[in-house]
Structure 1
Amino acid sequence: MAAKRRHFGRVRKLPSGRWQARYPGPDGDLRPADTTFERKRDAELWLSAKESEIARGDWLDPSAGKVTLHDYGNSWIRERPKLRPKTVVLYEGLHRLHITPALGKLNLADITTPRLRKWRRDLLDAGVGPVTVAKAYRLLRSMLNTAVSDRLISRNPCQIDGAGVEKSPERPIATVAQVLTIVDAVPERYRLLVLLACFNSLRWGELAALARRHVDTTDGIVTVERSVVELPTGELVFGPPKSAASVRAVTIPLVFIPDAVWHLAEFTGSRPDSLLFVGPKDGPLRRSNFQEHWRTAIEKAGVPGLHFHDLRHTGNTWAAETGATLRDLMDRMGHSTTRAALIYLHKTAGRDRKIADALGKLVEDARGTEPEGTDGHANPEGHAGGTPTE
């Protein structure tokens, strides 16, 4: 009696004695299993599983994942036209410097979680900063999520707990005296730049994109509506700021209005679109024109590790200490979410003492008494309301 012919796929015995399974994919092409089997029954079970996979719509073309991560990553970045120029520069750098060297030659289908765990560990051991490693991991995870959606791989191998979480080191906070020392130490054309970075919480790209029309010295307002990014080629690209929330109007402290008026008169062209800050040759502001002056100034101020972006960090911290609300901080910083603003509120532990003292004052006013004890606080032997403790 002839052997019953299978309705799906074929099984045959190889000269080696092992069994090979082949099946027709949804496209009609006959494909072999990626392994051979010791027993015929095992090959038949594998075919049955593959048939069910196709019926469920879960089948993936085994050859689809044979594109290298290097090529796929480059295409992934190129195919996202809505990325801001600064983000494109960041992604290209992370892919070129930290992803491709170790993983770029691998096919997508060959990338596994253990490989990624070793890749991440090797980066950290090589001295790459934890923040940079986290950014690279998040980028890779996004790329491979798209590969899953493209049905090139069945599962994203980026499954390392906490690998994409940035744990930035605590940045220094300057004192008012130190910031004013920096202001005095930089060339005059950059003094307002430092003041607005700190006291108006502006980013470098926002400052470099400001024009005369963005500064209202009558009402003391700076309007942020664009930003500029310097590409690795040296090209300056003007565009919208970091997010929709970054389009904002920020009030200049009255004490610095004369500084703004003087700067406009001395260093800014007369046209509304004239850049507020320019270099020594009246060209657009570039970090390369400023860095040497910055290094000299922070040395004089006694804060050699201070970055320019730390001025914004410093100003945000001071704003929180003045009693700014969460909404106030979000508006001033140009953030759409509460996460960053909450960090500054949490940093100002001194505010809790002010709140406690203010609450205590309400009790004192209601009781019509002064707080007991020589240290200005309530009697430690009783509650603020006068009831003895148990």
Structure 2
Amino acid sequence: MEGNDMNNPKTTRANFGTVRQLKSGRWQARYPREDGGPRMPGPTMFKTSKEAHVHIANVQSDRARGIYHDPRKGERLLAIYAQEWIENGGSRGKLAIRTTELYEDLLVRHIAPNIGKRAVGQITPAMVRGWYTALGKELAERAARPRADGGERVASGKTRQRQAYAFLKGVMNTAKTDGMVGSNPCQIIGAGMVRTEERPFMPMEDFTRLLESHPADLQPVIALAFGAHLRLGEAVALRRSDLDLEKGTLKVVRQAVQTRRAGVVITPTKTEDTRSVDLPLVTVEAMILYLASVPRALPAAPLFTRSTGKVLTRAQLQHAFKKSRDSTDLRQYHFHDLRHSGLTLAAQSGATVRELMARAGHSTSSAAMKYQHAAEERGRIIADGMSAAMRTGMNRPPKTA
């Protein structure tokens, strides 16, 4: 076992692998390739024969349990692997245009310059924690700097930090599937989770004020966005043929998406599903009045245009809504709150989770559940109000402790 002649090394054989001593005096382990090909050397040399045999035993055990990974597969630089991951559509094989642009920006700005210079197989949980902490400090410092134009400072960078971490975690999940790492090194609890504040419910009084403060040619858009629970891009992308006044339904097929490279592009909806929404009668009446006030058009024509005849754009609708909420002192609302409040009203009217999913175009029940919770809270208020009215009518004062 002590041979050191490279041309005639001492070799021991086992059922799975072999061990031999090299000219340097160190020991090499060899075992079959995963695809059944010729034996390959282990990823490193060992000081003793025993260490080499232990390595072989561990490889054999890990392969039997389906958890083995060859560290040499992880020699590709993280930045290069991440770029290929984006180009191949991420973990699902397809990324939305804006998601692709976001990931490319995160890669260039926050990953490639530092942790991206490491080989995928070298990334450890400690490295990820160090990178994550440093990124948080960098973004916070950047947010604290005064803007050159004297405007308000940017946000704290927490969202950006979360996005970068979630992106890295997704890349490393695929690296694990590819056998480049044994486990995902992104193990910071809660770091990639979205923590969004509950949006305010828009009472009908506030909705009416916002609606009436919009220009006359935009009021139908606001009415339909509320009644059909539309995202801003969906409202702008509607066509005449999507609205069926006889049935009182609206078909939502596409959205207008703002991109950095190509400007505004038309894509399928966010969940890539088509949905048909039964409209409230009030909304149908508003659409009848609107179509009666504009020239007839082909079914493929845009549903909404400005009074000048030009097609409505995302920027125009966003600007008009912001101007409307400022003029009515209802600055707490965003355009998306029209959708949120319309769905909450649907839940209060008795819509089930499945029905809310269909109206909203949600792909999972978890997104629709928050509207059910809102309905339950409203139900308690209604019940309390009923109780007060009943006590008054029945002349029964409330019990005291």
Query: Which TM-score band applies after superposition, normalised by the shorter structure?
Result: 0.7 to 0.9
Matched, 1:330 2:357: yes
From 74, 80, 89, the counterpart of 2:83: 74
Shift of 1:168: 0.6
Match of 1:345 in 2: 372
Match of 1:233 in 2: 261
Counterpart-to-counterpart distance in 1, 2:322 and 2:243: 27
The DSSP-based 3-state class of the residue aligned with 1:182 is helix
Shift of 1:197: 1.8
Verify the 8 A CA contact 2:256 2:314 in the aligned structure 1.
Answer: no
TM-score by length of 1: 0.78
Matched, 1:315 2:342: yes
What amino acid is aligned across from residue 123 of structure 2 in structure 1? Answer: I
Cα distance, 1:99–1:290 mapped onto 2, change above 3 Å: farther
The DSSP-based 3-state class of the residue aligned with 2:364 is coil
Verify the 8 A CA contact 2:251 2:274 in the aligned structure 1.
Answer: no
Match of 1:9 in 2: 19
Deviation digits for residues 221-256 of structure 1 (CA, Å, limit 9, x no counterpart): 2221233323222344334323366512231342x4
Cα distance, 1:82–1:279 mapped onto 2, change above 3 Å: farther
Match of 1:386 in 2: none
Cα distance, 1:2–1:246 mapped onto 2, change above 3 Å: closer
Deviation digits for residues 66-109 of structure 1 (CA, Å, limit 9, x no counterpart): 22222222222222354343443444444444444443222211
From 205, 216, 231, the counterpart of 2:233: 205
Counting aligned pairs with the same residue, the percent is: 29
Matched, 1:103 2:110: no
What amino acid is aligned across from residue 242 of structure 2 in structure 1? Answer: H
Counterpart-to-counterpart distance in 1, 2:296 and 2:175: 50
The DSSP-based 3-state class of the residue aligned with 1:238 is strand
Counterpart-to-counterpart distance in 1, 2:2 and 2:120: 43
Cα distance, 1:73–1:272 mapped onto 2, change above 3 Å: same
Counterpart-to-counterpart distance in 1, 2:101 and 2:290: 32
The DSSP-based 3-state class of the residue aligned with 2:72 is coil
Counterpart-to-counterpart distance in 2, 1:92 and 1:247: 31
Shift of 1:155: 1.8
Shift of 1:206: 1.6
The DSSP-based 3-state class of the residue aligned with 1:189 is coil
Cα distance, 1:219–1:160 mapped onto 2, change above 3 Å: same
The DSSP-based 3-state class of the residue aligned with 1:195 is helix
Shift of 1:40: 5.3
Match of 1:145 in 2: 173
Verify the 8 A CA contact 1:268 1:276 in the aligned structure 2.
Answer: no
Structure 1, unaligned stretches of length 5 or more? 382-390
Match of 2:128 in 1: 116
Counterpart-to-counterpart distance in 2, 1:233 and 1:266: 37
Shift of 1:212: 0.9
The DSSP-based 3-state class of the residue aligned with 2:218 is helix
TM-score by length of 2: 0.76
Match of 2:72 in 1: 63
1:21-40 alignment, distance < 5 Å: 21=28, 23=30, 26=33, 28=38, 31=41, 33-34=43-44, 37=47, 39=48
Matched length: 368
The DSSP-based 3-state class of the residue aligned with 2:192 is coil
The DSSP-based 3-state class of the residue aligned with 1:10 is strand
Shift of 1:62: 3.3
Deviation digits for residues 207-229 of structure 1 (CA, Å, limit 9, x no counterpart): 12211111233443222123332
Counterpart-to-counterpart distance in 1, 2:161 and 2:341: 26
Counterpart-to-counterpart distance in 2, 1:247 and 1:90: 27
Shift of 1:202: 0.9
Shift of 1:343: 1.0
- State the superposition RMSD in angstroms: 3.6
Shift of 1:9: 3.4
Cα distance, 1:86–1:79 mapped onto 2, change above 3 Å: same
Counterpart-to-counterpart distance in 1, 2:110 and 2:350: 42
Shift of 1:59: 5.0
1:364-379 alignment, distance < 5 Å: 373-374=396-397, 377=398, 379=399
What amino acid is aligned across from residue 287 of structure 1 in structure 2? Answer: R
Verify the 8 A CA contact 1:213 1:273 in the aligned structure 2.
Answer: yes
Counterpart-to-counterpart distance in 2, 1:218 and 1:331: 20
Deviation digits for residues 308-338 of structure 1 (CA, Å, limit 9, x no counterpart): 1122112223333344433442232222432
Counterpart-to-counterpart distance in 2, 1:329 and 1:24: 57
1:127-142 alignment, distance < 5 Å: 127=140, 129-142=157-170
The DSSP-based 3-state class of the residue aligned with 2:225 is helix
Matched, 1:189 2:212: no
Cα distance, 1:64–1:266 mapped onto 2, change above 3 Å: farther
Counterpart-to-counterpart distance in 2, 1:326 and 1:51: 49
Verify the 8 A CA contact 1:60 1:154 in the aligned structure 2.
Answer: yes
Counterpart-to-counterpart distance in 2, 1:10 and 1:296: 78
Structure 2, unaligned stretches of length 5 or more? 4-9, 141-155
Match of 1:388 in 2: none
The DSSP-based 3-state class of the residue aligned with 1:222 is strand
Matched, 1:19 2:26: yes
Counterpart-to-counterpart distance in 1, 2:310 and 2:370: 37
From 80, 83, 91, the counterpart of 2:95: 83
Counterpart-to-counterpart distance in 1, 2:192 and 2:296: 45
Shift of 1:273: 0.8
What amino acid is aligned across from residue 203 of structure 1 in structure 2? Answer: R
Verify the 8 A CA contact 1:197 1:312 in the aligned structure 2.
Answer: yes
Shift of 1:370: 6.9
The DSSP-based 3-state class of the residue aligned with 2:265 is strand
1:180-329 alignment, distance < 5 Å: 180-243=208-271, 247-254=275-282, 256-266=283-293, 270-278=297-305, 282=309, 284-329=311-356
Off by >6 Å, runs of 4+ in structure 1: 54-57, 356-361
Verify the 8 A CA contact 1:98 1:136 in the aligned structure 2.
Answer: yes
Shift of 1:272: 0.6
